[in-house]
């Protein structure tokens, strides 16, 4: 089933439905059904043992209608063109729903970075950057970290681009180290945005986070930081998982301790223990009797085969595309409220936008200013989506797509089709 799943088709199905509910004709949004540009590159790397290995890389620009394209780069063995196309489109809607002046892009290399040495990873990153260099830049397309990439990888990309230009260009990427133009609060931004989204929903439902239980699938940057911030707000984090293991403790896991363990153990929680902790499967985690399910791993995790088993009443999507359209229909009949990815995890791109603005201004904002502005943008976007949810009588995902699509279509109509 997983092999047949096409994330780009999943995106199109939701897009078409949103367009229909907005009363748009096909001609109004036909240009948004296909990416503006798809680049496939060969990335040769001289390995430490002297042999040359060639990896396949991608950069897809879905839309530049509202501004420069924006989106992360992931290094993952399952990366392929359809995945990258879908992720690029989701970035278009994500930027539009929170109303920042970007379009959507995404990049990836089909590789398992765990099998590379640091020098091999650096050479891979620099060669991939050189191969996509003609289509990226502060005014064109601004990459950022994603799955298996981090601030160090962004530093290599920024340096490679700068070497070709002959001067430092910090604004070519976001998610950089602070020392070369990164932004305070960027590392925590996606997880913090997820936390804000969940609190915004509870405000609408007139509920308190105190005592509410959460299961977190994926304990990378987004899942771990989101869980920590939720725990600080009073949520009980009953379960966490990564690619190797899933852990459960009914009265709550010590998230700071688990994060410290993962930091010392190659970012894995396998082997972590504390009193009362039990090891469960990923399938069991998704079906736990908790208040909130927080998927923060990869796409297609909640699908037609397991959606009926979900017992959480709220799903807040930290990952991109974790829930398929078929699963959405099942969850809807069960009365599950889903805060969609393009709204819930937009904190990262919002603070990436702040970082880009700071780079353009050659000025650094303090962290309180960044976090306060992030909270304001997330709150405004949530309220706008909630208003459409109530007036149109549609789930939050459809409401978010309707808000985003209407903005992009209006911009496209104003600009027209060249020539």
Predicted local distance difference test score (pLDDT) of residue 1 = 38
Q: Hey, which residues does 106 pair with through a beta bridge?
A: 60
| Least reliable range by pLDDT among 5-14, 139-148, 219-228 | 5-14
Q: What is the pTM of this model?
A: 0.94
| Residue 171 counted as domain residue | yes
CB atoms within 10 A of CB 82: 16
Does residue 57 form part of some domain?
A: yes
Average pLDDT of span 53-62 = 98
pLDDT digits (tens, 9 = 90+) for 349-403: 999 999 999 999 999 999 999 999 999 999 999 999 999 999 999 999 999 999 9
400 CB burial (10 A radius; 0-12, 13-18, 19+): buried
Same domain, 105 and 198: no
Confidence of residue 10 (pLDDT cuts 50, 70, 90): confident
Residue 119 lies in a domain: yes
The yes-or-no verdict on residue 247 having pLDDT over 50 is: yes
Chosen domain end from 176, 211, 239: 176
Give pLDDT, residue 299.
Answer: 84
Are the C-beta atoms of 166 and 172 separated by less than 8 Å? no
Residues 216 and 281 in one domain: yes
Omega before 208 within 30 of 0, i.e. cis: no
Asked whether the predicted pLDDT for residue 152 surpasses 60, the reply is: yes
What Å distances lie between residue 227 and 64, 98, 186, 328, 356, CA to CA? 33, 23, 16, 24, 27
The total domain count for the chain is 2
In CATH, what number is assigned to the domain containing residue 83? Answer: 3.40.50.10860
How would you list the strands of the sheet with 236-241, edge to edge? 278-280, 246-248, 236-241, 213-217, 292-295, 314-316, 337-339
Residues 314 and 209 in one domain: yes
Query: Which of 10, 29, 6, 9 shows the shortest CA–CA distance to 404?
Result: 29
Q: How far apart are CA 62 and CA 13, in angstroms?
A: 16
If asked whether residues 314 and 191 sit together in one domain, one would say yes
Query: How far, in Å, CA of 125 to CA of 329, rounded?
Result: 40
Q: Same structural domain for residues 222 and 318?
A: yes
> What tens digit of pLDDT does each residue of 254-271 get?
999 999 999 999 889 999
Query: Is there a single domain that holds both residue 137 and residue 118?
Result: yes
**Residues 141 and 210 occupy one common structural domain:** no
Please give the average per-residue pLDDT across 247-254, as a whole number: 96
The verdict on residue 25 lying in a domain is no
Residue that is written with structure tokens 């990815």 in the block? 341
pLDDT band at residue 2 using 50, 70 and 90 as cut-offs? very low
Residue 118 has pLDDT above 60, yes or no: yes
Both 94 and 197 in one domain: the answer is no
CATH number at residue 325: 3.40.50.720
Sheet holding 141-145, edge to edge: 37-46, 52-63, 103-110, 69-76, 141-145
- Calpha distance 370→190 (Å, rounded): 13
- The answer to whether residue 169 sits within a structural domain is yes
Last residue of a domain, one of 147, 176, 205: 176
In a domain, 164, yes or no: yes
Looking at the structure, tell me whether residues 169 and 222 fall in a common domain: no
Q: Which residues contact 15 (CB under 8 A, 6 or more apart)?
A: 29, 32, 33, 89, 401, 405
Q: Tell me which residue range forms the domain holding 77.
A: 38-176
Neighbouring residues of 194: CB distance < 8 A, sequence distance ≥ 6: 222, 226, 294, 296, 316, 318, 344, 345, 347
Q: Do both 207 and 273 map to the same domain?
A: yes
Q: Specify whether the CB–CB gap between 98 and 386 falls below 8 A.
A: no
Q: What is the mean pLDDT of residues 291-305?
A: 93
Cα–Cα distance for residue pair 383/223, rounded to 1 Å: 24
pLDDT for 185 beyond 70: yes
**Residue 310 in domain:** yes
pLDDT digits (tens, 9 = 90+) for 309-338: 999 999 999 998 899 999 999 999 999 999
SS3 letters for the chain?
CHHHCCHHHHHHHHHHHHHHHHCCCHHHHHHHCCCCEEEEEEEEEECCCCCEEEEEEEEEEEECCCCCEEEEEEEECCCCHHHHHHHHHHHHHHHHHCCCCCEEEEEEEECCHHHCCHHHHHHHHHHHHHHHHHHCECCCEEEEECCCCCHHHHHHHHHHHHHHHCCCCHHHCCCCCHHHCCCCCHHHHHHHHHHHHHHHHHHHHCCCCCCCEEEEECCCHHHHHHHHHHHHCCCEEEEEECCCCEEECCCCCCHHHHHHHHHHCCCCCCCCCCCCCEEECHHHHHCCCCCEEEECCCCCCECCCCHHHCCCCEEECCCCCCECHHHHHHHHHCCCEEECHHHHCCHHHHHHHHHHHHHHHCCCCCHHHHHHHHHHHHHHHHHHHHHHHHHHCCCHHHHHHHHHHHHHHHHHHHHCCCC
On whether both 330 and 209 belong to a single domain, the answer is yes
Give yes or no: 106 in active site.
yes
**pLDDT tens-digit readout, 271-294:** 999 999 999 999 999 999 999 999
Residue 3's pLDDT band (boundaries 50, 70, 90)?
Answer: low
The answer as to whether 106 is a domain residue is yes
Closest CA to 139 of 92, 103, 90, 166: 103
Do 210 and 104 lie in one domain? The reply is no
Among 344, 360, 395, residue at a domain's last position: 344
Mean of pLDDT values over 71-92: 95
* Active-site entry in 85, 106, 110, 187: 106
Decide the pairing of beta strands 52-63 and 103-110.
Answer: antiparallel
């Amino acid at each position: 089933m997983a092999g047949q799943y096409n994330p780009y088709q999943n995106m199109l199905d939701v897009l078409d439905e949103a367009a229909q509910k907005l009363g748009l004709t096909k001609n109004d949004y036909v240009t948004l059904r296909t990416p503006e540009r798809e680049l496939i590159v060969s990335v040769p790397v001289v390995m430490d043992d002297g042999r040359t290995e060639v990896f396949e890389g991608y950069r897809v620009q879905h839309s530049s209608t509202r501004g420069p394209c924006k989106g992360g780069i992931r290094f993952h063995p399952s990366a392929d063109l359809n995945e990258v196309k879908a992720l690029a489109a989701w970035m278009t809607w994500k930027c539009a729903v929170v109303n920042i002046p970007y379009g959507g892009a995404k990049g990836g290399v089909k590789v398992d970075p765990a099998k590379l040495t640091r020098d091999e990873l650096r050479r891979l990153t620099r060669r991939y950057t050189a191969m996509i260099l003609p289509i990226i830049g502060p005014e064109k397309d601004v990459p950022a970290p994603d799955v298996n990439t981090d601030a160090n990888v962004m530093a290599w990309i920024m340096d490679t681009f700068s070497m070709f230009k002959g001067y430092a260009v910090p604004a070519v990427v976001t998610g950089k180290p602070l020392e070369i133009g990164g932004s305070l609060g960027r590392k925590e931004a996606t997880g913090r945005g997820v936390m804000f989204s969940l609190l915004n929903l509870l405000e609408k439902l007139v509920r308190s986070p105190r005592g509410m239980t959460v299961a977190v699938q994926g304990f990378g940057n987004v899942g771990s930081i989101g869980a920590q911030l939720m725990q600080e707000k009073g949520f009980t984090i009953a379960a966490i998982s990564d690619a190797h293991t899933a852990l459960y403790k009914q009265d709550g896991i010590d998230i700071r301790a688990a994060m410290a363990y993962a930091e010392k153990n190659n970012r894995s929680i396998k082997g972590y223990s504390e009193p009362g902790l039990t090891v469960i499967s990923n399938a069991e985690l998704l079906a736990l009797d908790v208040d909130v399910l927080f998927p923060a791993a990869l796409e297609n995790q909640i699908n037609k085969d397991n959606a009926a088993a979900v017992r959480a009443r709220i799903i807040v999507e930290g990952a991109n595309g974790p829930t398929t359209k078929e699963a959405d229909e099942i969850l809807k009949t069960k009365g599950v409220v889903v805060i969609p990815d393009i709204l819930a995890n937009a904190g990262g791109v919002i603070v990436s936008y702040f970082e880009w603005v700071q780079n353009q201004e050659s000025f650094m904002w303090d962290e309180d200013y960044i976090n306060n502005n992030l909270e304001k943008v997330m709150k405004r976007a949530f309220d706008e989506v909630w208003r459409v949810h109530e007036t149109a009588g549609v789930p939050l995902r459809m409401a978010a797509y309707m808000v985003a699509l209407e903005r992009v279509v209006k911009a496209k109509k104003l600009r027209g089709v060249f020539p």
